[in-house]
Structure 1
Amino acid sequence: MTTEIPPQLPSDSPATASWFGTVAAASVMAECLRVQADVRPRSAFARLIGRSPLSADSLPWYQGALGELEVAARLKSLDDGWTVLHSIPVGTRGSDIDHVVLGAAGVFTINAKNHQGARVWVGSRRILVNGQKTDHLRNTRYEAARTQELLSAAIGTEVPVRGVIAIVDAKEVTVREQPDDVAVLGAAQLVRWLKKQKAVLGAAQVADAATAVRTAETWSTVPQPLPSTSGLDALRREVEGARKTRMAWGVAVLVTVLAIAIPVAFDYYGRVLGG
């Protein structure tokens, strides 16, 4: 999966105050780097064999960041009729919404979930990942309800909001039954699905809602400084380098095994057939 990491603003940049909603995966990247800062650097031997630089604690944050960045990259293909914001801080406890998308079809809160290589099962009341229950539906419903409450208060009229779960990089997604109030989709289907939704808002309503979603005070009364995300590029290069090293070792081992096994097999069958 190749995903662009957004450019970083220096902490003293005059543009810092206007970053709101423009940096995908901002809070997740910042948390990943915070946790990773406590991880001891790899030894020379660990680098030689391609051990990942990520710890068990930083890995989920890293995967979460890649998932949000993947979804953000796909949302770029929406036209100018849509308003798209990322990593929206909500409330006073550090919570955020991965993506908020607004168009004539209404408002959608999108919860990106990176389940690389996993089997995902979707039912009307639960989502399982490799057979394990998740809180995806509960959390997404809460985000949608909270967004509807905040936007309706800001605009002074009810705004339709629907929650969406975008599954990234799963090995298999089996949809037994879609939940009534949450759409569960593979990330590759997301933009096409959004474009197919029926219009429910007029032009004036879309304009009012767009102003509200772009206003930081709609979401939280707490000032939101730009999260520190510089350093993720370097970490990602290190992770990818370790992965390529492991692959190279795997190929080398396979070639060595074949180099030994093939002559032995020919010699064995030669003696059997000649005997």
Structure 2
Amino acid sequence: MTSELPPQLPLDSPAPTSSTFGTVAAASVMAECLRVQADVPPRGAVARRFGRSPLSDESRPWYVGALGELDVASRLDSLGDEWTVLHSVPIGTRGSDIDHVVVGTAGVFTINTKFHEDARVWVGSRRLLVNGQATDHLRNTRYEATRTQKLLSAAAATDVPVGGVIAIVGAKQITIREQPADIAVLDIARLTRWLKKQKPRLDESQTAALSTLVRDAATWTSEPKHETDVSGFDALHREVVGAKRVRMIWGGALLIAILGVSVQMALDYFGRLLGG
């Protein structure tokens, strides 16, 4: 049973971050993004000139999801040496993974990153809504925390406290009506501060033992690790950022042109008044 816990995209994103035992942040999301993007035809000269995004409607959700996980990973990596931080932790035998796992004196936390660009998020004790629509975020995060608790407790031969956290990225508004009893829902900006404020539950030796345990890939899965094409995702990211910059340049040029015409019309108008 899990422990009870108290209650717009930037132009650039963090570089992929390595975890303790060799995977990288957002590994599975990047892989799926590249898999879907592989079916998208390359942009032509005109599309590149006018800054059309290389992403398709199908690959874009995976792309922004990866950026969300990379953002969370970058913040978690700043926690300090007293914390152990892992990303894209493989679990089980079906290719599933946990976005982030952190270990400190407050215990173990699984962190489920959810990117909801410009959305309104509402949180109640039993529901999490995005733009008024129900989600499975609470259920899925609870399942990840419970599964992690069982795995770590079995490996450690003692009960290991595990809490579930949902990190919200990119939302326009987050309304916390009531925090769920067993899941903490947090805006990404509050994540590391919240972790550091949790009351200690483990002593130094217990924390060190758990840190060693979570670093062991055998704790999580018996499947071989699959390499992530980080350079491929980085190249795609550079292309997306470049296209956005081109659109910004065109937008600025258009605005200048509109303002120029408006100023000239005003000058002409006042000129006629003065001349008349």
- Distance in 1 separating the partners of 2:31 and 2:65: 11
Distance 1:19 1:163, change over 3 A: closer
> In the alignment, what sits opposite 2:150?
149
- Distance in 2 separating the partners of 1:262 and 1:228: 51
> Is the CA contact (8 Å cut-off) linking 2:23 and 2:89 kept in structure 1?
no
- Distance in 2 separating the partners of 1:207 and 1:261: 67
> Is the CA contact (8 Å cut-off) linking 1:3 and 1:73 kept in structure 2?
no
Identity %, equivalent residues = 66
Note the C-alpha offset of 1:117: 2.4
Matched, 1:139 2:140: yes
Note the C-alpha offset of 1:19: 7.0
* Among 7, 12, 16, the residue aligned to 1:6: 16
- Distance in 1 separating the partners of 2:256 and 2:66: 36
> In the alignment, what sits opposite 1:199?
200
> In the alignment, what sits opposite 1:12?
none
Q: Which letter does structure 1 place at the counterpart of 2:226?
A: P
- Distance in 1 separating the partners of 2:164 and 2:35: 29
Q: How many residues align?
A: 266
Equivalent position SS for 1:231: helix
Distance 1:120 1:272, change over 3 A: farther
Distance 1:202 1:79, change over 3 A: same
> In the alignment, what sits opposite 1:259?
260
Q: Which letter does structure 1 place at the counterpart of 2:68?
A: G
Note the C-alpha offset of 1:220: 1.2
- Distance in 2 separating the partners of 1:45 and 1:124: 51
> Is the CA contact (8 Å cut-off) linking 1:119 and 1:130 kept in structure 2?
yes
- Distance in 2 separating the partners of 1:217 and 1:232: 27
Distance 1:177 1:274, change over 3 A: farther
Q: Deviations over 1:118-142 (max 9, x none)?
A: 2222222222222322221111111
Equivalent position SS for 1:220: coil
Note the C-alpha offset of 1:205: 2.0
Q: Deviations over 1:208-232 (max 9, x none)?
A: 2212211111111222232333211
> In the alignment, what sits opposite 1:48?
49
Distance 1:20 1:31, change over 3 A: farther
The 5 A counterparts of 1:45-84 are 45-84=46-85
Q: Deviations over 1:28-56 (max 9, x none)?
A: 11221121111100111111111100111
Structure 1 segments unaligned to the other structure (5+ residues): 9-17
The 5 A counterparts of 1:39-188 are 39-188=40-189
- Distance in 1 separating the partners of 2:141 and 2:28: 17
- Distance in 1 separating the partners of 2:140 and 2:266: 57
The TM-score with structure 2 as length reference comes to 0.89
- Distance in 2 separating the partners of 1:177 and 1:157: 32
Q: Which letter does structure 2 place at the counterpart of 1:257?
A: I
Moved more, 72-81 or 169-178: 169-178
> Is the CA contact (8 Å cut-off) linking 1:106 and 1:159 kept in structure 2?
yes
Distance 1:254 1:208, change over 3 A: same
- Distance in 2 separating the partners of 1:244 and 1:225: 33
Matched, 1:26 2:27: yes
- Distance in 2 separating the partners of 1:81 and 1:254: 51
Equivalent position SS for 2:145: helix
> In the alignment, what sits opposite 1:15?
none
Distance 1:204 1:7, change over 3 A: closer
Pairwise CA RMSD of aligned residues? 2.1
Note the C-alpha offset of 1:192: 0.7
The TM-score with structure 1 as length reference comes to 0.89
- Distance in 2 separating the partners of 1:225 and 1:20: 13
